[in-house]
Structure 1
Amino acid sequence: MTLKVMGIVNVTPDSFSDGGKFLDVNAAISHGLQLLEDGADILDIGGESTRPGAQSVSESDELARVLPVIEGILKKRPDAIISIDTTKSEVAAQALELGASIVNDVSAGTFDPRIMEVSANHGAELVLMHMQGTPRTMQKSPSYEDVVEEVFGFLSARAQAAEDAGVRRENIILDPGIGFGKKLEHNLLLIKNLSRLSDRYQVLLGVSRKSFIGELTGQKVDKRLAGTLATLPFAVGSRVSIVRVHDVRETVDFLKVFEALS
């Protein structure tokens, strides 16, 4: 498959979908290894929730959560491609030193600009995501004059900042930040216009189980798989590089059949 599947490993007590399930290190390692068995191309490991209203986590707590999980997974699967989901440069640096090769920053380097330099120094890929406000405030009253122009303009500027910091263009991945300071109509417009981003950079799309799917279907978080899968043809058609999902096996199966028929 040309579209890579990134499996989510939340080592947190409060993530919106699976908070607390994998806070235990051994549970998180087992979950990550299972996602690889299910067909994940990449594991995205994070120790700080970015759900709406989430509180920040200290650097020491975040390190204590994610480093043993990265180490444990790579001990069993040294071939695994690991992404560290963090906004903190020191967490990124230590994760990269352990063997991670991607930094996934929901703040696009605005919370800790040094994260770009850290990524460049390690030759890592860097995901830059758009978010209006912070996780604590982002869904209070998101508003845009033109959501596509504003989000894509922001991402282009952050990509240029990453290049200026030494990150190679081919290592930059842009994420429109579905659900991060956006209403339903904003999310739909961004998904429909993804090809404008993918013309210039790799693009990551994260829609798995998100609230806009619940708004459209009326389904609770654990019943949003069908709605999530419905976005995949748009991702393929828009030349998205990576989809970030909770349900790896189902996503991989869907893409195998869809791409064979395409």
Structure 2
Amino acid sequence: MTINCNGNLIDLSTPKVMGILNVTPNSFYDGGKHKEINSIIHQVDKMLSEGADFIDIGAYSSKPSAEFVSEEEEIKRLVHIIKELVQTFPTIILSVDTFRANVARASVENGVAIVNDISAGLLDDKMLETVADLKVPYIMMHMRGNPQTMQSLTDYNDIVKEMIFYFSERIQMARSFGISDIIIDPGFGFAKTLEQNYEVLHKMELFSMLELPLLAGISRKSMIYKVLEKTPQEALNGTSVLNTIALQKGAKILRVHDVKEAVECIKLVSKLK
């Protein structure tokens, strides 16, 4: 499995790490921590030195009941940071976490190599054709509704079966527009109860029937800290445990806040094979 990022073929046969860079004031874990450009550059330098293969930058919090951010504000938050990062780290591979086509286009035109869409194109009907036009890899996530409504949309008969059907439809649609490199993300925490998150993780190997790389975004989420009765800040050990399970069940990309620990998970799990 390979994806083409800025003309470089990235081999996903060995799992990769995607470091999370939130430039929002209200992210559930690190909201407001990285507002100044020097702080952002320092954090990215740290993640890259620890072994991050990709940096995923987001300017619109997708936590449950997140407040609305205008498209103009999202672009404003992102573009100058993207330019600074590309200038400072010329070989960096950036992903943009957005569900808006115009934001995706502005980001790619300024140096981003991957579009990461929590809605799989369902929140902006221009997204799929835009990604196809930009010729970049596309991460499509499973979600119902939007960040404001998703927690009320958790009624499933067979969640994994319904998710596979969802992805099959969205993949077919993406292919019809000409998107070649697709990665799927089960969307832990998005329109899923605590128990449903663990059912999806337990059965995650079933997504291999889609024959696409699988991304796991579990880092410090409530499915960890609620079970452990801790806070997101205390959920690193639990994150490593679930990342290890995700790798054993086929994850090819770990999307994380803590790069060093994710790299260690990959190294250790690789010794089992």
Deviation at 1:115, TM superposition (A): 1.4
> Within 5 Å, which residues of 2 pair with 1:153-192?
153-168=165-180, 171-192=181-202
CA distance in 2, matches of 1:198, 1:40: 24
- In structure 1, the residue matched to 2:77 is 65
Match of 1:232 among 240, 243, 264: 243
Question: Does the 8 A contact of 1:84 with 1:95 survive in 2?
Answer: yes
Equivalent residues of 1:198, 1:240 under 8 A apart: no
Q: Check the 8 A contact 1:25/1:65 in 2, yes or no.
A: no
1:232 and 1:43 map into 2 onto residues whose CA distance is 18
CA distance in 1, matches of 2:126, 2:113: 17
What TM-score comes out, normalization by structure 1 length? 0.95
For the residue of structure 2 that corresponds to 1:27, the secondary structure is helix
Name the structure 2 match of 1:76.
Answer: 88
Consecutive unaligned residues of structure 2, counting only runs of 5 or more, are 1-12
Aligned residues: 260
**Counterpart residue type for residue 76 of structure 1:** T
Q: Distance in 2 between matches of 1:26 and 1:131?
A: 34
Query: What is residue 7 of structure 2 aligned with on the other side?
Result: none
What 5-or-longer segments of structure 1 have no aligned partner?
none
Selected match of 1:115 from 127, 130, 145: 127
- SS class of match (2:150): coil
1:146 alignment partner in structure 2: 158
> 2:108, 2:206 → 1: CA distance?
30
Alpha-carbon shift at residue 48 of structure 1 (Å):
0.3
Structure 1's consecutive aligned runs of 4 or more residues displaced over 3 angstroms after TM superposition are none
Q: Structure 1 residue 213 and structure 2 residue 198: aligned? A: no
Give the counterpart of 1:41 among 53, 77, 91: 53
The answer (yes or no) to whether the contact 1:11–1:20 under 8 Å persists in 2 is: yes
Pair 1:88 & 2:109 matched: no
SS in structure 2 at match of 1:174: strand
RMSD: 1.5
- 2:253 paired residue number: 242
CA deviation vs aligned residue, 1:43-83 (integer Å, no higher than 9, x gap): 00011000011012111111111111111111121111110
Shift of 1:146: 1.0
Task: Specify whether residues 258 and 201 from structure 1 end up closer, same or farther in structure 2 by C-alpha distance, changes over 3 A only.
Answer: closer
Asked whether the 8 Å contact 1:25–1:68 carries over to 2, the reply is no
Residue 253 of structure 1: how far off its partner (Å): 2.1
